[in-house]
Structure 1
Amino acid sequence: MLRLKLLFICLALFMASAKADEGMWIPALLKKYNIKDMKKAGFKLSAEDVYDINKICLKDAIVGLGKGSRPTTFSGSGSFISSTGLVLTNHHTVVSYLHKHSSDEHNYLRDGFYASTKEEELPAKGLTLSRLIRMEDVTAHLKEGTDTLSAQEASRLMNARGKKLVEAVNTNATITADIKAYFGGTQLFLQVYEVYRDVRIVAMPPLSLGKFGGENDNWKWPRQSADFGILRVYGNSNNESLKYSITNQPITPVNHLELSLKGYEEDDFAMVYGFPGGTKQYLTARAIQQVAEVKNYHGIKIRDAKMAIITDAMNSSEELWLKYSDYMAKTSNSLLRWKAESRGIEKLDLVNLKKEEEKKFIAWVNSSAELKAKYGDVIIGIESCVARLDTLEKLNLYVFEAGINGGNFVSFAGKFDMLNAICSRKNVNEKRLNKELRNLRVGVSNFFNDYDLETEKKFLKVMVKLYDENVGDSLKPSQIVEARKKYNGNFDQYIDEAFEQSIFSSKDKVNKFLKYFTKEDAEKIDNDPVFQLCLSYFLINKDHVMRQRGKVRKEYGKYHTLYLGGIREMKEGEKLVPDANRSLRVSFGQIKGINDEGVEYTYVSSLNDLVEKNQENSKIYPVPEAYAQSCKEAIESTKKTIPTCFISNCHTTGGNSGSAVLNAKGKLIGLNFDSAGNGLVGDYKFMPELTRQISVDIRYVRFVLENQLKAKALLEEWK
């Protein structure tokens, strides 16, 4: 798949010397830019041991987590840990796949899961794992002869050339390629992957251990989370339509990581190897202000309201706890991240720090007429675009966070629009109509099995009210404006009455409608009051968010790219840090404690901490009773501290979840799963004194396998 992201890849600068090396570095360029610094920090291997296309190396043990037709749009990371195809990743990156197998009879979220035999392993349907085979700098080839072309013509030519490169690689279903842009599109790499589509779940701890501390501890340190899951990869099929192995045999990976159980000390070298998502290290002051005061502020307001509804639902019954556990985790994760980001921005006084950087840039621009002609309008242009985007970014948040993704019902109801569209045509395609009806019947079953209608109605009531309070009438669904007048702002009454008149008022009613559906019934969908509200969000997104916001963002992108070009020119000869862009990266630093708000925290947490938390508040920190007893016995018998998690000042971000954490000899010591609060501002500016990535100690992973999951055979296999 081809992705040429030429306009919105941000550029970060290497601005301060520190023991932690800022940035998530391109593995293929370590020898040129980083290996000397890595050696000084304590690394014992060579650059070729980390990345090489001519010999087996560490990169061959690292995989990115993707889905279906988009296997290289990575949402997390993992690593091979055995010659029998075992893969280690985070609990939170793959728990949704286990959730699909959970039921009242087999509550795997509550109890955990372990397949003692390969026959018991559960398919992670839709999950793909991809291993990078090679990277190739194709900048010169793609850009050859484009200097004299217009931007549009150059982009068209580069895309055509890139498509040919990718097509030449994509010869079967197991190999895919894409092209990723770095430094604002000034450097372009072809990346070739082997894709594994038959992935099965082997072991996963109960939610109480995998997400120990839940939302109370998320983005915080110290932690005691056993945030891991173990998968197994089976042999690929050369037929793309066959998602599972014909031979039904696990693969023997090219390489797998060696295990280290020796532990670590403070200031020891640490390296994180994985697929970080995206960072924005070089936003201007005005753009940072928008992040804090518009995006995060309103995002927090909306998700706080959602969390209240989810919490009430989950506390009301075991059935709803099971249905909404995964949704709660997804909702709270970004909520707490936004809160931590905003705290970090304030703590660093980041807006003013960025203003000082801009002053230096402006002074440099004004140092010559040539530079002034080239870059003189850049900052003014960016600020103008950001000012116009304030309203549109806010609208985007409410359309998606409070509208389309305000709960789970809007997207469900929106699926009926296609049925309406098919029937609106003069000559209705009966084959396509029947196929759509079959798809909708499956969708109805899935929706009502996965979610609770009354809870989803509560989402609609609260989200409609929030939308009304925060968005101007000209950008609201007409249904909301009319309901405010008709019901005097009582949106609860509006939603209740809308559902009374709707085909969506119950599972039976929707199924009956679809069972006896004829093309003449399409009008009933179009006139349905609930469908009208849901569809209106999609229309506002189309007319205002996609068009207007898209237009301004495109203009902003041009100024931002020019800004990056100016910074590169100003800093010519200095080591530059590419922003993360869902490609394989290395970050390195030291295992190190932290001073947070005047409190000193050590670099490692222990099993004793888990036991104490559980005893003090078992509601917030629940663990299985037998496991709690095992912990106490282990502490007593060893008379030593048993480590659970540790922190380092390596630079990480979203997508690094599940990344291997390696010691100076390249051996596995931990698994990245989170970052500590204020350090989340590292997406916008890396600060080694604030940044701490959190890892589960590999020894604790094995402790949980032994004492909770009783996975003796797995421990024997993974040595």
Structure 2
Amino acid sequence: MLRLKLLFICLVLSVASVKADEGMWIPSLLKKYNIKDMKKAGFKLSAKDVYDINKICLKDAIVGLGSKSNPTTFTGSGSFISESGLVLTNHHTVVSYLHKHSSEEHNYLRNGFYAQNQQDELPAKGLILARLVRMQDVTEDLLNGTEALSDIEKSRLIDKRAKEITAKAKEGNHYQTKVKSYFGGTQLFLEVYEVYRDVRIVAMPPLSLGKFGGETDNWKWPRQSADFAILRVYANSNNESLRYSIANEPIKPVNHLELSLKGYKDGDFAMVYGFPGSTKQYLTSSAIQQVVDVKNYHGIKIRDAKMGIINNAMAKNEDLWLKYSDFMAKTSNRLLRWKAELRGIEKLDLVNLKKKEEETFTAWVNSSEALKAKYADILPGIESCVARLDTIEKLNMYVVEAGIKGGNFVSFAGKFDMLNAIASRKNVNERRLNKELRRLRVEVSNFFNTYDLETEKNFLKTFVKLYDENVGDKYKPAQIVKARSTYNGDFDKYIDDAFAKSLFASKKSLNEFLKYFSKEDVKTLTNDPVFDLCLSYFLINKDMVYGQRAKIRKEYGKFHKRYLQANKEMKAGQKIIADANRSLRVSYGNIIGIKDNGEEFAAVSTLNELIVKNQKDAKTYAVPDGYAEAVNKAIKESKTPIPTCFISNCHTTGGNSGSPVLDAKGRLIGLNFDSAGNGLVGDYKFMPELTRQISVDIRYVRFVLEHQLKAKTLLEEWK
């Protein structure tokens, strides 16, 4: 039966590969590896039109979304769409920045936002964009002469050389640089970026449209989400200590994407250009099994419980809806992703498929004594590491996912440990102590303004119990073991009693504690039952999880690195995929429908489907007041169905959110925002018959700007 299933998969692959090319490809290497296949798929441009350092090309219109602390480590993608610094990205990648400006009086999440003029644009505080200026293969420069060195000596020499190369690349300019590793360090690239620090919000649709269908439709197809946001980039200040432009002038980007409103048809070429996060194409069967049995299994159990608490809170009133909307979206997104990954792994029978790959690898290794001496220990070494990680990965899930990040309170309480450390010293530094007290007053204000204490207590109650049920006493905080005995397993009462005796019981009590704090008051903090419980999660993580996990993962990493190197050697002369690593990549394929569970779905969704969903379930598929009327009017006036979203078999992953989707001539036709559920297995194994990336049609973006946000001036600017 297994052989028949694998044969079927291979047959499907051979057919589907005509329409899709597995992988997220390095743009500077397209001419060498991909351009011929891209042309066969329908691409009309040259490799230099996509990436070139000597002329303006598509690369120059693509940006990554980072933060002040990590400006070139990207969590999303975007693209310049006008000469006046407009950037298009996803609603869900930047909604947290709009959330900071929202209140009950100005509920931009529920109502959407549009700046009528540049003066009304809202600063996206903390958001930084970056454009790749160039990338350069520096493998030989870094690795030459390192073959005979020990691991430590080799690492030190490579780091020294990398610092010299990046420093030289920054001479005489304002660019930021980094060196990225590919294929287990066998290929290394210097990346040079122009960083934009002054980013402002121009337009975002209401949450009901940006995330139409909410969690019900997440990771599913068909979709009708208007998942877009429009930003504007302003010129960086010459003073690096200032975040915003003194001149207050938008930049004129090196390049911006040409807009196409002509649409597409089934089978048309599509290309996604952005900064995918990470993929794990070379995980072994044992590592995939660990994903199934440990990481995703327990992660789902924890986040299901978390979502129940969040949904109950948000249903109570508008204030709690606003406070927990962003937290709900982040919690749900990963939860549904884990569930979809499991479905894809099962549907693909991925564990057994990986075992077949390992059999091929082992046969290659055994084909010569030299290969055996070099690589025979790799797979047994990986399997040993994975086996030892099983317990520690499960514990990590409960300590971090159910403990430190179970809600928002534990991490908040943990911020008081520095006060404990400063005040406990024999000779207290008064200047540092006062600075810490001022910092904590801000933290207290931020926490109580952002979250609800009763909801946070419910997180604690739920996850203390869940931790107790799923983790052995050896790995539990002593506080949980004691509470189970003292309270007969009634953890709700334990938490209630702890808060009744705690200075964390209210904003007022915490502020009074900080206002009148003296060195002697440190005992009040260390004896506080709530602080004691919260701190215990960090101590378990420090003593039992972090170090041990890091040690085994470091050992695993060495084997995995050699596995990547061996695969590259085994497939010498073939196109081989480099796992995504938050660097600029191109993926390409065709706009094509999908068959799932015996049902066929078209490649395009329409406004008609949005209305049908809204009429069947107006709560789940809510739309703003008046929007349904505007849609119905547009449907009646249009001679053809009005598209909302479409799918293609381009290979994407997290980080591709906000990536532009381009047609055969490099024109903007859509905006990547999601994947169809079973296709999420593509992070582990790309399968053209399962994998579909979902994009909002650029015509629907403009429809929402016109009919919901009334953004006439913006539409005139963006042509």
TM-score where L is the length of structure 1: 0.97
Q: Which runs of 5+ in 2 are unaligned?
A: 1-12
Structure 2 CA distance for aligned equivalents of residues 638 and 516 of structure 1: 69
Tell me if 1:397 matches 2:397: yes
Report the aligned-residue RMSD: 1.3
Contact 1:647 / 1:693 at 8 angstroms: preserved in 2?
yes
Q: What is the identity, as a one-letter code, of the residue corresponding to 2:309?
A: I
Comparing 592-601 and 231-240, the one that deviates more: 231-240
**1:718 counterpart = 2:718:** yes
Match of 1:199 in 2: 199
Task: Show the counterpart of 1:266.
Answer: 266
Q: Any idea what SS the aligned residue of 1:199 has? A: strand
Residues 16 and 689 in structure 2, CA contact (< 8 A), matched pair in contact too = no
SS in 1 for 2:538: helix
Deviation at 1:15, TM superposition (A): 13
Aligned partner of 1:67 in structure 2 is 67
Paired with 1:145 and 1:565, the residues of 2 have a C-alpha distance of 18
1:471-514 deviation digits (Å, cap 9, x = unpaired): 11111111111111111111101111111111100011111111
Structure 2: how far apart are the matches of 1:542 and 1:334? Answer: 25
Identify the residue that residue 446 of structure 1 maps to in structure 2.
446
CA distance, structure 1, for counterparts of residue 554 and residue 270 of structure 2: 39
Q: Hey, what does 1:36 align to over in structure 2?
A: 36
The 5 Å alignment of 1:161-176 reads 161-170=161-170, 174-176=174-176
8 Å contact from structure 1 (residues 173, 238) kept in 2: no
- CA deviations on 1:298-331 (whole Å, 9 max, x unpaired) are 0000000000000000011111000000000000
User: What SS does structure 2 have at the residue aligned with 1:635?
Assistant: helix
Supply the AA of the counterpart residue of 1:433.
L
Shift of 1:168: 3.1
Superposed, 1:141-152 pairs within 5 Å as 141-152=141-152
Unaligned runs of 5+ in 1: 1-12
Match of 1:7 in 2: none
1:73 positional shift: 1.0
In structure 1, what is the Cα distance between the partners aligned to 2:176 and 2:310? 39
- Contact 2:17–2:688, Cα closer than 8 Å, also in 1: no
Aligned-residue offset at 1:16: 8.7
What is the match of residue 377 of structure 1?
A: 377
State the 1:546 CA deviation.
Answer: 1.4
Q: Which residue of 2 aligns with 1:501?
A: 501
The Cα of 1:194 is off from its aligned counterpart by: 0.5
1:644-680 superposed Cα distances (whole Å, 9 cap, x missing partner):
0000000000000000000000000000000000000
Partner of 2:422: 422
Determine helix, strand or coil for the equivalent of 1:129. Answer: strand
Change (3 A) 1:513 1:672: same
The equivalent of 1:233 in structure 2 is 233
What is the Cα deviation at residue 174 of structure 1? Answer: 4.6
Over residues 383-409 of structure 1, what are the superposed CA-to-partner deviations in whole Å (9 max), with x where a residue is unaligned?
Answer: 111001000111111111001100000
Cα displacement (A) at 1:268: 0.1
Q: How many residues align?
A: 707
Letter in 2 for 1:415: K
**Are 2:268 and 2:590, in contact at CA under 8 Å, matched by a contact in 1?**
yes
Q: Name the structure 1 match of 2:674.
A: 674
Structure 1 equivalent of residue 284 of structure 2: 284
Aligned to 1:662: 662
Distance, in Å, in 2 between the alignment partners of 1:564 and 1:226 is 39
Q: Secondary structure at the match of 1:23?
A: coil
8 Å CA contact 2:16, 2:688 repeated in 1: no
Q: Report the alpha carbon displacement of residue 526 of structure 1 after superposing the two structures with TM.
A: 1.1
Does the 8 A contact of 2:226 with 2:701 survive in 1? yes
How far has the Cα of 1:166 moved from its partner? Answer: 2.1
- Separation in 1 of the partners of 2:173 and 2:95? 26
Per-residue deviation at 1:27?
Answer: 0.4
Task: Please give the alpha-carbon distance, in whole angstroms, between the structure 1 residues aligned to 2:222 and 2:372.
Answer: 50
Identity %: 75
Which letter does structure 2 place at the counterpart of 1:203? Answer: A
How big is each residue's C-alpha offset from its partner over 1:362-392, in whole Å with a ceiling of 9 and x where there is no partner? 1111122221121112111111110010001
**1:21 corresponds to 2:11:** no
Q: CA deviation at 1:239?
A: 2.2
- Structure 2 counterparts to residues 425-574 of structure 1, below 5 A: 425-574=425-574
What residue is the counterpart of 1:223 in the other structure? Answer: 223
User: 588-597 or 164-173, which moves further after superposition?
Assistant: 164-173
Give the deviation of 1:628 after TM superposition.
Answer: 1.0
1:409-446 deviations in Å (ceiling 9; x for gaps): 00000000001111122221111111111111111111
Residue equivalent to 1:317? 317
Give the match's secondary structure for 1:302: helix
Q: Residue in 1 aligned with 2:133? A: 133
Equivalent residue number for residue 10 of structure 1:
none
Structure 1 position 112 matched with structure 2 position 112: yes
Gap change, CA 1:175 and 1:516, over 3 Å in 2:
same
Distance change (3 Å), C-alpha of 1:536 and 1:173: farther
* CA distance in structure 2 between the aligned counterparts of 1:173 and 1:483, rounded to whole angstroms: 60
Shift of 1:212: 0.2
Q: Is the 8 A contact 1:222 1:601 kept in 2?
A: yes
Separation (CA, whole Å) in 2 of partners of 1:347 and 1:665:
36
The corresponding residue for 1:409 is 409
Cα distance between partner residues in 1 of 2:492 and 2:222: 42
How far the C-alpha of 1:165 sits from its partner, in A, is: 2.0
Query: Which whole-Å CA distance do the structure 2 matches of 1:501 and 1:703 have between them?
Result: 56
Give the secondary-structure state (helix, strand or coil) at the position aligned to 1:680: helix
What secondary structure is seen at the aligned counterpart in 2 of 1:625? coil
The structural deviation recorded for 1:568 is 1.6
Q: What does 1:318-337 correspond to in 2, within 5 Å? A: 318-337=318-337
1:562 aligned counterpart, secondary structure: helix
Q: Is residue 386 from structure 1 mapped to residue 386 from structure 2 by the alignment?
A: yes
SS at match of 2:181: strand
Q: Residues 171 and 329 from structure 1, CA distance in 2 versus in 1: closer, same or farther, beyond 3 angstroms? A: farther
Q: Verify the 8 A CA contact 1:174 1:196 in the aligned structure 2.
A: no
Cα distance, 1:627 vs. partner? 1.1
Q: Report if the CA contact (8 A) 1:174-1:238 is conserved.
A: no
